Structure 1
Amino acid sequence: MGKDVDAQEFTRADRTRHREKVRRCLDVLERMLNESAFDTDDPHTGLEVELNLVDDAGDPALRNQEVLDAIADPDFQTELGQFNIEMNVSPGPLRGRGLSQFEAGLRASLNEAERRSEPLGAHLVMIGVLPTLRDRHLAPDTISQNPRYSLLSDQILAARGEDMLIDIVGDERLRATVDSIMPEAACTSTQVHVQTAPERFAGYWNASQAIAGVQLAVAANSPYLLGKQLWRETRIPLFEQAVDTRSEELKAQGVRPRVWFGERWITSVFDLFEENVRFFPALLPVTDEEDPLTVLEAGGTPNLSELRLHNGTVYRWNRPIYDVSGGVPHLRVENRVLAAGPTVVDTVANAAFYFGLVRTLAESDRPLWSQMSFSAAEENFHSAALRGIDAEVYWPGVGKVRATELVLRRLLPMARDGLAAWGVDQEDIDHYLSIIEQRCLIGTNGSEWMVRRMAAAAEEDRFDALRGMLLDYRAGMADNRPVHTW
């Protein structure tokens, strides 16, 4: 969820001061993009994985602070709900056996965290939406203790001026009114980071947007929410609605949503930060004492804290990241499309497909986005979220095509070429992309497995069946067998 902030109230003067500081940061970023040296020598990639906590029966375990105390590892942090935690995988290069190293590190960390949390009656689950959640688990009193989350919830509700309406129509319909942003806690994702030079950032972001629908189709993993079977990737409409600061009147006026796919291809990373400042008022107007221009002119690297905090409250599916490491600035694309899970090996396969495909498309002499409208990319995104592995998507030169056919015939070869360009070992390329290939051939990802498992238990009470399905899911996750083999 980003930078921690202390519990506080904001005055009109705080908001005015913060707005001025954000704009100053934006001006400094523009100057840095023109003048400063960014870290581009050895681009790193990274992963963040959001996790759910469940008890022995498969119901949510509201114990994240106790679990974090037991794990005692700074790579694990709180998330919005008391049944959530997040883990960070140390960034590193892809070359050689980088993918295998990601898998080994992620498995080792999760196994150790599970060992330490099990005596508390809590278990870690990688899944897009925890299917055993009930209304009571999404109430304001289940927000994590970190003051940032309650403050953010209060600010979003205040900006909206009314309770949140969750209305999702899929195989079934869910309609509920809530008085906090806790439904957002139901959305647990894998965030994939790729570092890039400023002059190449636009290509990597545009490519990420163009393939977002295909990513969802092959990796959907959240068909159930509050007992209802909805979209194959229910995280998408749920997140879009759970953090919507707009009243119905503002929606009708065309005000941009806080969870945003975007509306155009870009030519610079500056475009995205400038849109953030132009379209979205601050939710957390916290201002620090650093003068970024003074730091820059003294030869230092400014933190741009206000711009980064604001960026963290605009929930793009592909988010720009400005960060500083060792006193040197760098830029990353944070790909936020993917659900968590089902297994570590599935997660790394999803990341490998993204890393390879985005590299090929971003470095292409004839950019894909010059042949495809932005609205087509957005339509692919929502169509794939709704239908999952059965989705049809639009692709230049092909037209409408089954996502699985597109992956098998065109995109897997591109992903192979991209991973080779990253310097990835051939054995890793074959291993991880074969998992994507088999999912497409068999027509099974996490969501399809869950729906089929539930269909076999159709005569049971819905929540009893969901618990049983989740226990089987946990067993498959623990074995680390790709979901298409379950």
Structure 2
Amino acid sequence: MGDEVVGTGYTREQRQRYREKVRQCLDVFERMLAESSFDFERPLTGLEIELNLVDAEFEPAMANAAVLESIADPDYQTELGQYNIELNVSPRPLPGDSALELEEALRRSLNEAEHKANAAGAHIVMIGILPTIMQQHFHTEWMSANPRYSALNESVFAARGEDLLIDIASPTSPDRVTAFADTIAPESACTSVQLHLQVSPQEFPASWNAAQALLGPQLAVGANSPYLFGKHLWAETRTVLFLQATDTRSVELRNQGVRPRVFFGERWITSIFDLFEENVRYFPALLPEVSDEDPVAVLDAGGAPRMQELRLHNGTVYRWNRPVYDIVDGRPHLRVENRVLPAGPTVADVMANSAFYYGALRVLSEEDRPVWTKMSFATAESNFTECARRGMSGTVYWPGFGELPAEELVLRHLLPLAHEGLERWNVSKQVRERYLGIIEARCKSGRNGAEWQVSTVRALEARGHHRLSAVREMLRLYAGNMHSNEPVHTWEVPG
């Protein structure tokens, strides 16, 4: 969400001043794209992992303040819900064996954090939606003690004027969730992995377009959120839940075609400026806090303005591939932030999802006749929705292949591209074989995190467990497998 906020309520004058300042920042950003030197000589990748906390019964543990105090590591921070924390990984280059070193560092960090969380009466679980979260958990003190979360909650409901409606039907079972929420609490159930890639202004449009085309296949192989409130819904329910849990539109505004803040987008782009301009043009401010910076004066003096208002506004438009402007060591840089993947199931699986994304993205963004010149943007969105609903069994369209199962598209086309792309990044053969081999095995076995969860719950129900008991037992088995770091396609399903 960018910079911290202070207030929770805003006057009309503040909103007007904020709008003026955001538009001023947008003008400055346009100048910078034409005139400034952005840092991209050594492209870096970054990673954020959102985590859940559970108690001894695998119920949500509203204990992140105590857990973070016990962990005492600045890489771990609060998230929206008191049962959430986030791990931020320092940027690093892709080449060589860097990914293997990162896997080891992540495992070590999470093991230490788990040990310290235990001392605070909690366990850490890395999963897209905590399957034991129920509506009653949101009627307690669920929100983290941070002003920006209170401000966001107040602003969403001030804009909407009525309770949120969560209405999600399963495409493969009779299950359905229909519920109203008087806070943004359901958003806290959505825990993700965010992948960052630093690029030049010239490379950004191709990288973003390629990332948009990849969203469906990413979800197909990486889905890990099939349960909400004990109901079996989409393979990646997190995507539709996030859409509905942050929706500032009334029914009437939706019917008019007003864009949601969880925004897939509506066109391929030719500049990063297109995305920032859309954000300013289409979306009213949620957190209209104004800084003292004069971005024009900073730029005229040869500096790099922070442009806090534009950054904060950009952080409240939830694109699955978000454009990021940031300043590090006084130099501006640009990133594509890929936000579509759920957390988990294991660190090895997270690294495999990352390798697939970075490798395929590299080749797709450099093709002479790229995929987005042969596929409509609406088709990319349709692929995304289909894969969120059905995972690897979803049917997608891809130029040159027509309609085919997502797992077949990955095996026949995208995995070879990912191998080639990682080679272009000078990633070692050992890294390529380990992580892309995991993706290949997932596709051949038909088992990603979502499929394992559903198969396990069904097996437990067949043994006589009722649904909630089966979901709790599944999560207990999941947590044990997660700590083993064996990829999810190798996990056993109870006989």
- 1:112 corresponds to: 112
Quote the Cα distance in structure 2 between the aligned partners of 1:152 and 1:380.
31
Q: Aligned pair 1:278/2:281, yes or no?
A: yes
Alignment of 1:62-461 (within 5 A): 62-139=62-139, 141-170=141-170, 171=173, 172-458=175-461, 459-461=464-466
Q: TM-score, normalised by structure 1?
A: 0.99
Paired letter, 1:320: P
More divergent stretch after superposition (462-471 vs 301-310): 462-471
Are 2:476 and 1:471 equivalent residues in the alignment?
Answer: yes
Given residue 247 of structure 1, which amino acid in structure 2 is its aligned partner?
S
Give the deviation of 1:8 after TM superposition. 3.5
Uncovered stretches (5+) of structure 1, i.e. residues with no partner: none
Asked whether the 8 Å contact 2:9–2:154 carries over to 1, the reply is: no
> What code does the residue aligned with 2:478 have?
Y
Contact 1:166 1:177 in 2 (8 A): yes
AA in 2 matched with 1:211: L
Q: Distance in 1 between matches of 2:209 and 2:389?
A: 22
* Unaligned stretches of 5+ residues in structure 2: none
User: Aligned AA for 1:57?
Assistant: E
Aligned length: 486
| 1:438-464 per-position Cα deviation (integer Å, ceiling 9, x unaligned) | 000000000000001001111312211
Runs of 4+, deviation exceeding 3 Å: none
The one-letter amino acid paired with 1:39 is D
Matched, 1:50 2:53: no
- State the TM-score, normalized to the length of structure 2: 0.97
Q: Is the 8 A contact 2:208 2:336 kept in 1?
A: yes
**Cα distance, 1:107 vs structure 2:** 1.1
**Are the counterparts in 2 of residues 140 and 179 from structure 1 also a CA contact under 8 Å?**
no
Contact 1:140 1:182 in 2 (8 A): no
Q: Sequence identity, in percent?
A: 59
Q: Is the 8 A contact 1:89 1:105 kept in 2?
A: no
- The C-alpha deviation readout for 1:178-211, integer Å capped at 9, x for no partner, is 0011100000000000110001100000000001
Alignment-derived partner of residue 20 in structure 2: 20
Deviates more, 1:458-467 or 1:350-359: 458-467
Matched position secondary structure for 1:149:
helix
Contact 2:3-2:308 at 8 Å conserved across structures = no
Deviations 1:131-153 (A, max 9, x none): 00011222373111111111101
Amino acid at match of 2:293: E
AA matched with 1:462: R
RMSD: 0.8
Query: Do the aligned residues in 1 keep the contact of 2:320 with 2:339 (CA within 8 Å)?
Result: yes
> What is the CA-CA distance between 1:364 and the residue it aligns to?
1.0
8 Å Cα contact 1:139-1:180 kept in structure 2: no
Deviation string, structure 1 residues 91-116 (Cα, Å, up to 9, x no partner): 10000112112212211111111111
User: For the Cα contact (< 8 Å) 1:376–1:394, is it kept in 2?
Assistant: yes
Q: Indicate the SS of the match to 1:3.
A: coil
**Secondary structure in 1 aligned to 2:481?**
helix
Give the letter aligned to residue 464 of structure 1: S
